[in-house]
């Protein structure tokens, strides 16, 4: 078993407010192997974006990491001083955000932004950096890269901009890219292109991707493993095929049933009653218990650990060894 | 249940087969030129954006007609024209025989307004943040004079809230106290408050989480069955539309490229763009199906390609596609605008 | 299985004051010493000026109650004529400065408030119309606002004052001064309201709740009034508060220049003008106290307005 590239152990992110401390991410643990694509999926308020932000140290105050560890190749990065963290960010971990329009500085040509990043993290000369920038642009599929490198962001369409953002993320040869909703703002036909591009880059550059999204379809096409988050906790984590086709956690099952597909037999969608609890009102025990159709007493008292099943792990008391018979 | 909200009774049998909504050669052109002073100083020409070009469709009573397209397709513009928020540059929308733009029919149109409603995309912007929920829902009731006394209005609001599975006491709260899904329910309650027959739904679930979307879509279907509603459903998501629509129209850059019953669109898509859209829907069944990659992106609507607007991205484009815009071909229940289909090439 | 949302908690709906106290703005107020101090001072001044007749030992503008022998009494001493203790001293006519302060502040505050209300009504209406209707009307209103903003407010007020002087019959000048001052200062300040409200209206106009109102057939005017106005009113409150301080200062300037309130019904500016003459002859108190009062009023309103702007700004919370 190779050493994981990124290891998150019991991460807790809190927001102190005058009404009390809100725990937005509560005891999240997972590993990402080198070159792997891990999808982190969840609905709004599940805490997936905050997890990504916490890993890379971009939490907006007053949010802060209140517990747990983040290890990159065995070394802790969550407790680094700001300057050291800044070096890690960009050099070893790249980020891709949702909105390509605001990820790029509209005042600078994309070539400038690329060469700046390359030089900052690799110390190449300006000419070499420019050459590498052109290579990157070709890699991400920008036509006529030699010419377009001097263009400004607004001269590109949405999909092209996101490709440039991917190029920027790859500029310093990072080991891991954290992509937060990279395809959400794009048209569906362009989404497919970007997904294919990400997979290709992942293979060619041997870079791992942490893909944060609410779109299960994107996960199905891109990820190797997926973690399903609910109310700041991981409900289920495992190989993508397993989680999607043979979901264990009642929430995951409900989620998969509510996604409209082209091939579903019934025309009526499965719906999960109620809605995700607000951060101020997370129930005791399992956060999903008020909405769960299989709820029993233990669920309301004790918060479930991640329990193993054949190939994945589920945070659900239905899968505790002694309860299997009633699952 | 209550007698206040009932199935729409005023539909004469003779007209039951006539379409409720008819759009005839709808066109909408926006003037996007720079301000006059700048333009004159720079010597630049006027610029116009054709958002919708020569669009025609019909919606029968009690059916759900879906308009599907990506950004720049003009589907939201069509929604606004149908509802009367935006006057078409040319062409006409007729609802139950009454034109939405003929100035001579102003009085008739006033009566018609009660029967048309709209549900919007953004649950955070479609409710006035300074109004309480009961006032928001009661607004159409009061505007159309459907209930005079406060007590009656309050009762109606309470019923509507229960209909959308909220609590009647929620009426005293403000919109910001609700989640996105709950706000969309409030918007639906508002849309139903004046007993409409026809509701235009502009991407009503696009801003919602998937599980919430399922609740809202199921609710909309239940309400349609119960009250005999007709929907014009706008969306960019073909999978969502599959659960809602009886007939589907696919739009690209302001034009309808294919209109067909829902089954046909999914089983036998004709137009290359429709096929591309279907192909782009992610494979949740994990069948490992190979995606055909499609190049390019939606072109700039201010400077659309010549001939058929899809030709730069179309794998079946021929010379004729570059020069001549395609006409509508009818094949069974399907209407397609594509040279390749017309010529029998695909 | 359909789930009806839980009914709201059984506690009684809190009163308006209780809710305000509990809210984020209330919390910000409670924890900001500057805001509390500024608010306290302002409230004290307003209270004092409202009930001036009852608090002050004399009405300094009632000639019958004056004793010329009291003139130039230094602060804290008894007057030579009436024997009354003059807390802040007496001026040349024997007027108690403390009383004069309160009455003068009252005039200043009244004119300030009236002019703010005037410019607020004018500016908000024009801004709302400009933003919602657009087109030529918007262009016209905004150009007028732009032109006006390029002149200093004092100049505009002076201009209006001069025109009013010309239009009004001389015998009515003194009585009309109050109204003319209000209109003059009001007209010099409406443009900022119009600009802010227009900008907010442009944003709100695009929101879907406005579309929803238009779908049911509401006309432009009801939509503007019932839907848009409540949503653009927020920044107006902050501008109004800060403007109040400016209006008071503007009024003081005009009176100081001699074109404002007359000495028979003086504002703080007039008192300062009168007191100026005596500065170098040793009776410093006639100038000092009105000046301190003016600065205190302007500063406390300003600080309160600053706090209010930060408290209402969602980004800073």
Domain of B224: which CATH number?
Answer: 3.40.50.300
In a domain? residue B12: no
Candidates A158, A214, A256; nearest CB to B209: A214
> Does B276 lie in the same domain as B131?
no
**Is residue B281 located within the same domain as residue B134?**
no
Q: How far is CA B209 from the centre of its chain?
A: 20
Asked if the Cβ–Cβ distance from C231 to B128 is below 8 Å, we say yes
User: CA A143 to CA C138: how far, in whole Å?
Assistant: 45
**Contact predicate C66/C60, CB 8 Å:** yes
* Structural contact between residues B253 and B73, judged by C-beta atoms closer than 8 angstroms: yes
Lookup: tokens for C137: 């009307």
Q: Which of B59, B63, B75, B62 is nearest to B246 (CA)?
A: B63
Strand order in the sheet with B98-99: B48-59, B21-31, B90-95, B98-99
What per-residue confidence (pLDDT) applies to B2? 39
At residue A224 the predicted structure's pLDDT band, cuts being 50, 70 and 90, is: very high
Considering the domain architecture, whether residues B64 and B88 belong to the same structural domain is answered as: yes
Q: Compare CB distances from B297 to A159, A245, A257 and report the shortest one's residue.
A: A159
Q: Nearest-5° angle of CA B306, CA B311, CA B312?
A: 95
CA distance C246 to C241: 9
Mean pLDDT, range A54-66, rounded to an integer: 87
Last residue of a domain, one of B192, B225, B247: B192
Average pLDDT of span B295-308: 84
* Alpha-carbon B180 to chain mean position: 20
Per residue in A270-279, pLDDT (tens digit) is 888 888 888 8
Sites in chain C below the pLDDT cut of 70: 1-20, 22, 314-317
* pLDDT given at position B239: 87
Domain residues for B73? 19-37+45-115+197-285
d(CA B251, CA B265): 13
Inform me whether the C-beta atom of residue C6 falls under 8 Å from chain A C-beta atoms: no
**Token pair listed for B254:** 């302001």
Distance CA C277, CA C258 (A): 14
Contact C3 A18 (CB under 8 A): no
Question: Does B108 contact C at CB distance below 8 Å?
Answer: no
Q: HEC profile for chain C?
A: CCCCCCCCCCCCCCCHHHHHHHCHHHHHHHCCHHHHHHHHHHHHHHHHHHCHHHHCCCCCCCHHHCCHHHCCCCCCEECCCCCCEECCCECCCCCEHHHHHHHHHHHHHHHHHHHHHHHHHHHHHHHHHHHHHCHHHHHHHHHHHHHHHCCCHHHHHHHHHHHHHHHCCHHHHHHHHHHHHHHHHHHHHHHHHHHHHHHHHHHHHCCHHHHHHHHCCCCHHHHHHHHHHHHHHHHHHHHHHHHHHHHHHHHHHHHHCCCCCCCCCCCHHHHHHHHHCCCCCCCCHHHHHHHHHHHHHHHHHHHHHHHHHHHHCHHHC
Whether residue C138 contacts residue C131, with contact meaning beta carbons closer than 8 Å, is answered with: yes
Number of residues that make up chain A:
327
Retrieve residue A298's tokens: 């233990």
Residue B255 lies in a domain: yes
The per-residue pLDDT for A187 is: 83
A253/A293 Cα distance (integer angstroms): 11
Q: Do B138 and B221 fall into the same domain?
A: no
Predicted confidence (pLDDT) at residue B230 exceeds the cutoff of 90: yes
C-alpha span between C260 and C164 (Å, rounded): 12
The answer on pLDDT for A321 being more than 90 is no
Bond preceding residue A152 cis, omega within 30 of 0:
no
Identify whether residues B145 and B174 lie together within a single domain: yes
pLDDT tens figures, C29-62: 778 888 888 888 888 888 888 887 777 777 777 7
Between chain B and chain C, the number of residue pairs with CB atoms below 8 A apart is: 69
Helix C153-167 and helix C173-205, axial crossing angle in degrees, nearest 10: 130
What local confidence, expressed as pLDDT, does residue A276 receive? 86
Structure tokens that stand for A237 in this block? 């984590």
* Cα distance between residue B5 and residue B83, in whole Å: 22
What ipTM was estimated for this complex?
0.85
Q: Give the end of a domain, one of B170, B192, B214.
A: B192
Reading phi first (left if > 0) and then psi (alpha if -120 to 50, else beta), residue C85 is in beta
Residue B296, pLDDT score? 77
Q: Token match 């002076």: residue?
A: C158
Check whether B10 has a pLDDT greater than 50. Answer: no
The mean per-residue pLDDT over the stretch A244-248 comes to: 91
pLDDT for B111: 83
Which has more confidence, C282 or B250?
A: B250
* Rounded Cα distance, C48 and C42, in Å: 10
Strand order in the sheet with B334-337: B116-119, B198-202, B230-235, B64-68, B247-252, B255-261, B334-337, B328-331
pLDDT for C136: 87
| Helix (H) / strand (E) containing A307 | strand A307-308
SS3 C49: helix
Instruction: Please check the confidence at residue B294 and state whether its pLDDT lies above 70.
Output: no
User: Hey, are the CB atoms on A262 and B240 less than 8 Å from each other?
Assistant: no
Average of per-residue pLDDT across A240-261: 90
Q: What is the pLDDT of residue B4?
A: 40
Same structural domain for residues B172 and B220?
Answer: no
Residue C44 · residue A35 · CB < 8 Å: no
Which residues from A are below 8 Å from B294, CB to CB?
189, 192-193
Interchain proximity B286–A215, CB inside 8 Å: no
Best residue of A101, A191, A271 to probe chain B, by most B CBs closer than 10 Å: A271
pLDDT at site A265 = 62
**pLDDT tens, position by position, B168-184:** 998 999 998 898 899 99
B266 has a pLDDT exceeding 70? yes
3-state secondary structure of A139: helix
The values of phi and psi at residue A30, to 5°, are -165, 165
Please state, in angstroms and rounded to a whole number, the distance separating the CA atoms of residues C178 and C180. Answer: 6
B166 against A275, higher pLDDT: B166
Q: How far apart are CA B93 and CA B25, in angstroms?
A: 9
- Residue A211 tokens, joined: 């893909």
Q: Which fold has domain C32-58+74-316?
A: MetI-like fold (1.10.3720)
CA angle, B153 then B159 then B160, to 5°: 90
Instruction: Tell me how far apart the terminal alpha carbons of chain A are, to the nearest angstrom.
Output: 31
CB B28 within 8 A of CB B51: yes
Q: Please answer yes or no on whether C3 and A274 come within 8 Å at the CB atom.
A: yes
Give the pLDDT confidence of C204-239 residue by residue, as tens digits.
Answer: 999 999 999 999 988 888 999 999 999 988 889 888
For the entire predicted model, the pTM comes to: 0.84
C96: its two tokens: 């108690």
The span from the CA of C251 to the CA of C158, in Å, is 11
Distance CA B73, CA B236 (A): 10
Least confident piece of the model among A30-34, B9-13, C151-155, C303-307: B9-13
The answer to whether the Cβ–Cβ distance between B166 and C4 falls below 8 Å is yes
- Per DSSP, the three-state class of C306 is helix
**In-domain check, residue B222:** yes
Question: Helices A126-139 and A158-170: crossing angle, nearest 10°?
Answer: 130
C301 vs C34: CA distance, rounded Å: 11
Segment B292-310 mean pLDDT: 81
Mean pLDDT for chain A?
Answer: 87
Query: pLDDT exceeding 70 applies to what percent of chain B?
Result: 93
Q: Are residues B33 and B154 in the same domain?
A: no
Measure the CA–CA gap between B281 and A191, rounded to whole angstroms: 10
pLDDT at position B331 is 83
Q: Is B96 on the interface with C (CB under 8 A)?
A: no
User: Across residues B15-42, what is the average pLDDT?
Assistant: 82
Q: Are B92 and B99 in contact (CB under 8 A)?
A: yes
Residue A325 has pLDDT above 50, yes or no: no
Number of domains in chain B: 2
Are B5 and B197 contacting, i.e. CB atoms less than 8 angstroms apart? no
Nearest to A223 by CA among A10, A33, A15: A33
Q: Angle between the B210-227 and B180-192 helix axes, to the nearest 10 degrees? A: 10
Strand partners, A230: A233
Q: Per-residue pLDDT averaged across A279-295, rounded?
A: 89
Q: Give the N- to C-terminal CA distance of chain B in Å, as an integer.
A: 53
Partner chains of A (3+ C-beta pairs under 8 Å):
B, C
Residue B279: count of CB within 10 angstroms of its CB: 18
Interface test with C, best of A15, A18, A270, A291 (most C CBs within 10 A): A18
Helix (H, G, I), strand (E, B) or coil at B67: strand
Å from B13 to nearest chain A CA?
A: 29
pLDDT for residue B291 is more than 70: no
Separation between Cα atoms, residue C207 and residue C153, nearest integer Å: 35
Whether B253 is covered by a domain: the verdict is yes
Residue A264 has pLDDT above 70, yes or no: no
Question: Are B118 and C209 a contacting pair at CB < 8 A?
Answer: no
pLDDT band at B141 (very low <50, low <70, confident <90, very high): very high
Q: Is B67 within 8 Å of B234 (Cβ atoms)?
A: yes
Within a domain: residue B307?
no
Region A120-132: what's the mean pLDDT? 88
Which one-letter DSSP state was computed for residue A143? Answer: T
pLDDT at B330 over 70: yes
Per-residue pLDDT reduced to its tens digit, A79-117: 888 888 888 887 889 888 887 777 888 888 888 988 988
pLDDT at B246: 92
Residue A89 near residue A95 (C-beta atoms within 8 A): yes
CA distance C112 to A31: 66
Min Cα–Cα distance to chain C from B85, Å? 7
Closest CA to A267 of B265, B213, B217, B248: B217
Question: How many CB atoms sit inside 10 A of residue C159's CB?
Answer: 14
Query: Alpha-carbon distance B47 to B44, whole Å?
Result: 9
Q: Give contacts of B267 with chain A, Cβ < 8 Å.
A: none
Q: Where are the domains of chain C?
A: 32-58+74-316
B192, B214, B233 — which closes off a domain? B192
What is the SS3 string spanning B163-193?
HCCCCHHHHHCCHHHCCHHHHHHHHHHHHHC
B64: contact with C, CB 8 A cutoff: no
Q: Where are the alpha helices (DSSP H) in chain A?
A: 48-56, 82-91, 100-103, 110-122, 126-139, 145-148, 158-170, 188-205, 216-222, 240-245, 250-258, 297-301
Here the tokens at position C314 are 């969602």
* Contact at CB, B282 and A221, closer than 8 angstroms: yes
Q: Which two tokens stand for residue A231?
A: 């109310």
Please report the pLDDT score of residue A322 as a whole number. Answer: 60
């Amino acid at each position: 078993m190779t050493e994981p590239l990124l290891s998150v152990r019991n991460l807790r992110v809190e927001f102190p407010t005058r009404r009390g401390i809100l725990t937005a991410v509560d005891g999240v643990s997972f590993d990402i192997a080198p070159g792997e694509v891990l999808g982190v999926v969840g609905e709004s308020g599940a805490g997936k974006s905050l997890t990504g932000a916490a890993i890379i140290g971009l939490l907006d105050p007053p949010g802060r990491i209140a517990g747990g560890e983040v290890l990159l190749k065995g070394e802790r990065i969550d407790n680094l001083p700001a300057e050291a963290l800044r070096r890690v960010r960009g050099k070893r971990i790249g980020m891709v955000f949702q909105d390509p329009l605001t990820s790029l500085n509209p005042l600078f040509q994309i070539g400038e932004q690329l060469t700046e990043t390359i030089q900052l993290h690799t110390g190449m000369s300006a000419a070499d950096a420019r050459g590498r920038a052109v290579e990157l642009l070709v890699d991400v599929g920008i036509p006529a890269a030699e010419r377009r490198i001097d263009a400004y962001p607004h001269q590109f369409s949405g999909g092209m901009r996101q490709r440039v953002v991917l190029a920027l993320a790859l500029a310093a040869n990072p080991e891991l890219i954290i992509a937060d909703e990279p395809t959400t703002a794009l048209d569906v036909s362009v989404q497919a292109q970007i997904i294919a591009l990400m997979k290709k880059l992942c293979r060619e550059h041997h870079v791992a991707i942490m893909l944060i999204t609410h779109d299960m379809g994107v996960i199905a096409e891109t990820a190797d493993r997926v973690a399903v988050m609910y109310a700041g906790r991981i409900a289920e984590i495992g190989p993508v095929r397993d989680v999607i086709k043979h979901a264990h956690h009642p929430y995951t099952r409900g989620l998969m049933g509510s996604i409209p597909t082209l091939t579903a037999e019934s025309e009526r969608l499965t719906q999960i009653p109620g809605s995700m609890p607000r951060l101020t009102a997370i129930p005791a025990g399992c956060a999903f218990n008020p909405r769960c159709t299989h709820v029993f007493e233990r669920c309301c008292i004790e918060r479930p650990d991640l329990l193993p099943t054949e190939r994945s792990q589920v945070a659900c008391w239905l899968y505790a060894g002694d309860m299997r018979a009633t699952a | 249940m209550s007698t206040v909200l009932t199935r729409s009774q005023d539909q004469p049998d003779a007209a039951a087969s006539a379409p409720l909504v008819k759009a005839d050669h709808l066109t909408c052109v926006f003037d996007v030129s720079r301000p006059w002073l700048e333009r004159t100083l720079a010597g630049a020409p006027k610029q116009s954006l054709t958002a919708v070009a020569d669009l025609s469709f019909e919606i029968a009573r009690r059916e759900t007609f879906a308009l599907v397209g990506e950004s720049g397709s003009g589907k939201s513009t069509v929604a606004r024209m149908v509802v009367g928020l935006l006057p078409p540059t040319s062409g006409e929308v007729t609802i139950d025989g009454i034109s939405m733009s003929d100035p001579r029919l102003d009085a008739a149109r006033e009566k018609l307004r009660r029967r048309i409603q709209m549900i919007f995309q953004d649950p955070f912007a479609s409710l006035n943040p300074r109004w309480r929920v009961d006032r928001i829902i009661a607004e159409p009731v009061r505007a159309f004079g459907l209930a005079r006394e406060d007590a009656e209005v309050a009762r109606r609001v309470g019923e509507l809230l229960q209909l959308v599975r909220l609590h009647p006491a929620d009426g005293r709260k403000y919109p910001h106290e609700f989640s996105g899904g709950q706000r969309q329910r409030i918007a639906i309650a508002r849309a139903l408050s004046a007993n409409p027959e026809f509701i235009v739904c502009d991407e009503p679930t696009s801003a919602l989480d998937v599980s919430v979307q399922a609740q809202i879509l199921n609710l909309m279907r239940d309400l349609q069955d119960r009250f005999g509603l007709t929907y014009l459903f706008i969306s960019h998501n073909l999978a969502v539309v599959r659960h809602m629509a009886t007939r589907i129209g696919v739009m690209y850059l302001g034009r309808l490229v294919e209109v067909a019953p829902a089954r046909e669109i999914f089983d036998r898509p004709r137009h290359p763009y429709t096929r591309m859209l279907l192909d782009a829907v992610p494979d949740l069944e994990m069948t490992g199906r190979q995606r055909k990659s499609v190049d390019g992106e939606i072109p700039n609507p201010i400077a659309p390609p010549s001939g058929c607007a899809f030709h730069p991205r179309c794998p079946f484009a021929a010379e004729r596609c570059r020069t001549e815009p395609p006409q509508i071909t009818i094949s069974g229940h399907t209407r397609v605008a594509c040279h390749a289909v017309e010529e029998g090439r695909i | 299985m359909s789930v009806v949302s839980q009914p709201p908690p059984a506690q009684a709906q809190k009163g308006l004051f209780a809710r305000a106290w509990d809210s984020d703005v209330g919390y910000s107020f409670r924890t900001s010493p500057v805001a509390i101090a500024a608010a306290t001072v302002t409230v004290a001044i307003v209270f004092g000026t409202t009930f001036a007749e009852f608090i002050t030992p004399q009405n300094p503008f009632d000639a019958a109650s004056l004793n010329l022998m009291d003139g130039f009494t230094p602060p804290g001493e008894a007057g030579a004529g009436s024997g009354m203790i003059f807390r802040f001293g007496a001026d040349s006519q024997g007027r108690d400065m403390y009383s004069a302060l309160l009455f003068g502040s009252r005039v200043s505050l009244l004119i300030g408030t009236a002019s703010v209300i005037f410019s607020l009504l004018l500016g908000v209406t024009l801004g709302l119309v400009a933003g919602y209707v657009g087109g030529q009307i918007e262009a016209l209103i905004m150009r007028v606002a732009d032109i006006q903003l390029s002149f200093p407010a004092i100049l505009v007020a002076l201009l209006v004052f001069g025109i009013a002087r010309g239009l009004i019959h001389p015998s009515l000048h003194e009585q009309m001064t109050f109204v003319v001052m209000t209109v003059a200062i009001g007209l010099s300040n409406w443009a900022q309201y119009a600009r802010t409200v227009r900008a907010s209206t442009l944003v709100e106009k695009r929101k879907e709740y406005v579309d929803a109102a238009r779908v049911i057939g509401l006309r432009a005017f009801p939509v503007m009034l019932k839907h848009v106005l409540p949503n653009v009113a927020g920044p107006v409150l902050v501008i109004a508060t800060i403007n109040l301080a400016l209006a008071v200062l503007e009024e003081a300037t005009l009176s100081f220049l001699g074109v404002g309130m007359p000495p028979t019904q003086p504002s703080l500016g007039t008192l300062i003008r009168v007191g100026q003459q005596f500065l170098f002859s040793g009776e410093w108190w006639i100038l000092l106290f009105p000046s301190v009062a003016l600065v205190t009023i302007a500063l406390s309103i300003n600080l309160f307005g600053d706090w209010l702007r930060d408290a209402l700004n969602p980004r800073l919370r």
